Structure 1
């Protein structure tokens, strides 16, 4: 594999973000992103520049992170359009996005935007029960990979603050709930890429404040279908019965709600037949026995019919209880898509362990937000680079290998892409320096 080809592919991906910056700012953004990938130490600006052998650019890159021209709205739109071009972007007829929140630990109360949280000691026995952290609501794309776990590519995120711990510098932040932040992220993403969109999220976001703005959006916003976990005691109703021809009209206003259905924990009583099939769920093909019904859900309101599913999945004792507004999806597809949502947890792990999300040394607002966005871009660009390498001719084949301790590994990881960059580190440093020098001449 030639380093020149690797750099050309990487540079073509970085060009997607050029409209969000000045030309010199775009080069700083590309330098920062490339340094994150090459860096094997702490993923700070200093260490990233050392990885590129350009410590003399420290002041310029620090200034870019703090006060440089950076149009986040244009960046998010360009990023969404780039992810739309990825293989597997259309899954069962929808552009599938996943939303969840995660905590990024910071130690000092002087770091902008941190809040206190209770940390269960069972999850990390050597950490204090009360910690300071940034709580990010993150949106990313789920890409289909047939007969394999889905790909998760992070796109953008928003910081959540407790109402009692809102930052007061440089200005007092406006309080938004996690549900409001999730809806805003989904609507912004859907406006960037036209077509049918499906939002997949856990039951922690299955509230009226999320599902209703998605399926009944305000004027000018696109409709977004949803798929989420259903409470076992959820209130479901059959669709209102149509009046029979010639029947006497009952007195009073007709009810907006149909007959009450059994709750999902008693889904076997629903007026439909059990079906069987197989789907790729949590790492392998599994047999699924499921029952589905089109009904009304109290959380979503009587105006929007939904499809509810209870499923018995091979290898799991408890039933899956799911609900979606995308009536075209089958029960089997619903289980497959919801199981793919767990790839987001893998993405959070890679962001923290491979790209150093918790190693951020920024203290003020803009550097904190921009550092996180750069990490999202770096991880997704590595996946996009992987897709393009796999589409190249034989000269690009064999760029990764299964390790001796895991001969059954059948697809590359984020670490494999980082290793590819580090194998060609000297050539990449030279090409980056030449690229930056060319930019200095063109702007002088």
Structure 2
């Protein structure tokens, strides 16, 4: 808890406004972290005034939530410096990038547009009116389970909705966020784990040119991607430039059928369990990435297979499978962000109000994971699920709510006095009601 208090104090120093705004910044973060109500501005105001007994008018609180003076470009690097080295073992920092749709109702909402939804069901429209969020996360193994800690985000807007000089593709936004994060950890190797939409040369080549051997990519291959052998040096020197690629081996699907009989069994830590996985690996060349990659075909059942690759050929098969399996946590992170923290129910419409609200939710989520990582033992799971022993995100919020009323937390921050236990719980019940 002391590490979290110190981090909140450091964040407060970056709020250059008066003391009221410094207090409101910490109150808002804590209110979102508590499992009390949702994170709408009206619900946060009720939590700040009723639970923390802070005297502020609703007009001033709404003005704070829509303030253009919150320097998130200075606040986020403070969080990165704490969570990137968190639980560091020998190996690269795992980053993950993905985008998600946030449906909205109403007009004149910032960053809204008719976005194509490739994951829409048969009974749903292919185009969704809402916001498209590109989120960069850090994958960490905390107390035996993987977690996705948000680091930054961008709103993707269609070219027709913005001026051409300000238009950025999702790839451009991903590159700019990754470079901003890597300025904090310049001397650490980074592995970006992503799906096959981002795992291509348009993302890899610019980052490789900028970062060199510090950056590597782990992603999934499309079934029609063509792979080549490593070029062999000719016995005699020939005229012209040397070959960059060897013999054409075929596409990924054809190679998957060919290598299935030679697959071996590997013991892999996957989805919280030690599992036996049948896989085959080979070093091949990719023209889209312009480099040698380690390809791993994973087989399950008679005809089911998945092909993943890593640009760092020193990684083992078990590492590649485990780290790519951890990528699914960014999808779980979107659910925790939207439903549990309540970012989906945001009713803000203006640019700064929408942006500040999402920044608050993502930072609160990262702080909760930072808080539980500092604990000596993992939280107990409240609701048992068959074949699932790891704790849930809701268990972290419940544990945080139990410890927040302790005197050490109140005195450490110095922003509100310790509440009596019965009064604290009764006030929380009133907010929920």
Does residue 211 (structure 1) correspond to residue 207 (structure 2)? The answer is no
Contact 1:402 1:409 in 2 (8 A): no
Q: Does 1:22 align with 2:16?
A: yes
Root mean square deviation of aligned Cα: 3.2
Aligned length: 408
Q: How does 1:30-429 map to 2 (within 5 A)?
A: 30-38=26-34, 40-52=36-48, 53=50, 54=54, 56-67=56-67, 69-87=69-87, 89-90=88-89, 93-118=91-116, 123=121, 130-145=127-142, 148-166=144-162, 174-194=166-186, 195-217=188-210, 223-244=214-235, 248-267=236-255, 269=258, 274-301=263-290, 304-313=291-300, 317-390=303-376, 400-403=379-382, 405-406=384-385, 410-423=389-402
Deviations 1:263-321 (A, max 9, x none): 22233557x964431112234322223222222211112xx3222221224x6852221
- Between the aligned partners of 2:5 and 2:292, the Cα distance in structure 1 is 46
Query: Which range moves more in the overlay, 9-18 or 194-203?
Result: 9-18
Distance, in Å, in 1 between the alignment partners of 2:360 and 2:387 is 32
Deviation at 1:222, TM superposition (A): 7.9
Q: Secondary structure at the match of 2:372?
A: helix
Tell me: CA distance 1:14–1:85, structure 2 relative to 1, closer, same or farther (3 Å): farther
2:166 aligns to what SS in structure 1?
Answer: coil
Q: Please give the alpha-carbon distance, in whole angstroms, between the structure 1 residues aligned to 2:389 and 2:10.
A: 29
Q: Does the CA-based 8 Å contact 1:65-1:367 persist in structure 2?
A: yes
Alpha carbons of structure 1 residues 122 and 364: separation in structure 2 relative to 1, 3 Å: closer
* Shift of residue 82, structure 1, vs aligned partner: 1.2
| Aligned twin of 2:428 | none
Instruction: Work out whether residues 190 and 224 of structure 1, in 8 Å CA contact, stay in contact via their aligned partners in 2.
Output: no
> Residues 240 and 101 of structure 1: is their aligned pair in 2 closer, same or farther, counting only changes over 3 Å?
same
TM-score w.r.t. structure 2 length? 0.83
Q: Distance in 1 between matches of 2:237 and 2:412?
A: 81
Deviation at 1:370, TM superposition (A): 1.6
- Structure 2 CA distance for aligned equivalents of residues 186 and 432 of structure 1: 37
CA distance in 2, matches of 1:257, 1:318: 29
Query: CA offset at residue 341 of structure 1?
Result: 0.1
C-alpha distance in 1, partners of 2:242/2:347?
A: 61
Task: Give the Å deviation of 1:57.
Answer: 4.8
CA gap 1:206/1:316 in 2 versus in 1, 3 angstroms: farther
C-alpha deviations, 1:111-165, integer Å up to 9, x for none?
A: 111011355896496x76643211010011111258x541111111011001122
SS of the equivalent of 2:245 reads coil
Q: Secondary structure at the match of 2:191?
A: strand
Contact 2:32–2:38 (Cα < 8 Å) also in 1: no
Q: Equivalences for 1:422-437 in 2 at 5 Å?
A: 422-423=401-402, 431=410, 435-436=414-415
Q: CA deviation at 1:48?
A: 1.4
- Residues in 2 aligned to 1:129 and 1:249: alpha-carbon distance in whole angstroms: 56
Structure 1 unaligned regions, length at least 5: 1-5, 392-396, 439-444
- Which stretch shifts more, 114-123 or 25-34? 114-123
State the alpha-carbon separation in 1 of the partners of residues 195 and 222 from structure 2. Answer: 11
Name the SS of the counterpart of 1:82 in structure 2: helix
- The Cα of 1:421 is off from its aligned counterpart by 4.1
**Distance in structure 1 (CA, Å) of the matches to 2:154 and 2:70:** 16
Q: Which moved more, 1:31-40 or 1:194-203?
A: 31-40
Q: CA offsets, 1:69-91, max 9 Å, x none?
A: 3222222221211112322x44x
CA distance in 2: counterparts of 1:104 and 1:260, whole angstroms:
43
CA distance in 2, matches of 1:431, 1:183: 40
Decide whether aligned partners of structure 1 residues 102 and 258 sit closer, same or farther in structure 2, where only a CA change above 3 A counts: same
TM-score, reference length from structure 1: 0.81
CA distance in 1, matches of 2:387, 2:277: 25
In structure 2, what is the Cα distance between the partners aligned to 1:200 and 1:434?
Answer: 37
1:329-375 per-position Cα deviation (integer Å, ceiling 9, x unaligned): 12221111111100111111111111001111221112211211111
Q: CA deviation at 1:59?
A: 3.5
Structure 1: how far apart are the matches of 2:303 and 2:274? 17
For structure 2, list consecutive stretches of 5 or more residues without a partner in the other structure: 418-433
Q: Distance in 1 between matches of 2:264 and 2:232?
A: 25
The alpha-carbon distance between structure 1 residues 434 and 390, as it changes in their structure 2 partners (threshold 3 A), is: closer
